[in-house]
Amino acid sequence: MTIDDREKDPGRVARRLIRTARQATLATLDIETGSGPYASLALTACGHDAAPLLLLSDLARHSRNIAADGRVSLLFAKSTREAISQSRASVVGRAEPCDDPLLRGRFLARHSAAQSFAQFADFKLYRLAIESVHFIGGFARIHTLEGDQVMFDTKASADLAESESDIIAHMNSDHGESVNLYAHNLVGRPGLDWRLTGIDPEGIDLGRYDADARLDFDGVITGPEEARAALVKLAHTARGEA
């Protein structure tokens, strides 16, 4: 699939929107008002399959709602002055408690500030099992998608998930210059102190104290050796050597 073809695939574009988001509007069924809708703001990350992840306190109203009924919706949209004309996705599914340490690690790598309160016993990680996605990609580009049209199949990439934290640590400690060049020259986001915050089969996530960025690979990778080759290739491209 070429880059142009990928941009025409609504499921992939919706998945990329989920991957790049740091927060979303969370709608739950409110037990305090008789199961009416209750909307709140939640920090988000996602698994390698793009299933959204939430770290929520048991004390929060939305958490009490989820405990009573796990049916939720998340609205992912870019926060800009022209937001109404930008791509957005309403993800519908069930929020389920998740004790997977790799997924918790992905969330905390994306939201380093959450480390301080994530240690409290009342904070739990939730994974949203996607059932459907209503995706608006622009004027006259409206799609209602099944969950499997948006989710990424990760059966072949378990080794990458297991190695992700080591790859991130290695890149940030030994190849910080390359990470900055990814942001500067390949994403057009100048500035210092960029860090790799995630790597999945489709690309990498970059972050610094005031910004985030996403960089896609040319193709899909499945393991640490392919990840190394893809990161080296990106570094060569960022230096103008490819």
The domain defined by 3-150 folds into Pnp Oxidase; Chain A (2.30.110)
Determine the Cα–Cα distance for residues 242 and 239; give it in Å rounded to an integer: 8
β-partners of residue 52 are 46
Asked if residue 152 lies in contact with residue 77, where contact means CB atoms within 8 angstroms, the answer is: no
Task: For residue 61, give both structure tokens.
Answer: 């109203």
Whether 242 has a pLDDT exceeding 90, the answer reads: no
pLDDT at 36: 87
Q: Residue for token digits 């989710």? A: 151
Instruction: Compute the mean pLDDT over every residue in the chain, rounded to the nearest whole number.
Output: 92
Determine the Cα–Cα distance for residues 229 and 79; give it in Å rounded to an integer: 34
pLDDT at 118: 82
How many CA atoms does the CB half-sphere of 140 hold within 13 Å?
0
54-63, 77-86, 87-96, 213-222, range with the lowest pLDDT: 77-86
Q: Residue for token digits 């905390």? A: 108
User: Cα–Cα distances in Å, from 47 out to 35, 85, 92, 181, 219?
Assistant: 29, 27, 16, 25, 18
What number of other Cβ atoms are within 10 A of residue 77's Cβ? 18
Whether the full predicted model's pTM is greater than 0.85, yes or no, is yes
pLDDT tens readout for residues 13-63: 999 999 999 999 999 999 998 878 999 999 999 999 999 999 999 999 999
pLDDT tens readout for residues 146-186: 999 999 999 999 999 999 999 999 999 999 999 999 999 99
Asked if residue 29 lies in contact with residue 35, where contact means CB atoms within 8 angstroms, the answer is: yes
pLDDT at 84: 63
Two domains, one topology: 3-150 and 158-238: no
User: Cα–Cα distances in Å, from 22 out to 18, 32, 44, 80, 146?
Assistant: 9, 28, 5, 14, 23
Whether 195 has a pLDDT exceeding 70, the answer reads: yes
Residues 6+ apart with CB under 8 A from 170: none
Please give the backbone phi and psi of residue 112, each rounded to the nearest 5 degrees, phi first.
-60, -30
pLDDT at 46: 98
Smallest CA-to-CA distance from 125 within 150, 151, 103 is with 103
* CATH number belonging to domain 158-238: 3.20.180.10
Alpha helices in the chain (DSSP H): 3-8, 10-20, 61-68, 101-110, 115-118, 147-150, 158-174, 176-181, 224-238
Per-residue pLDDT band at 8 (split at 50, 70, 90): confident
Compare 41 and 85 and report the one with higher pLDDT. 41
Per-residue pLDDT band at 130 (split at 50, 70, 90): very high
Determine the average pLDDT of the residues in 191-216.
94
pLDDT at 120: 85
Domain boundaries, given as residue ranges, for the chain: 3-150, 158-238
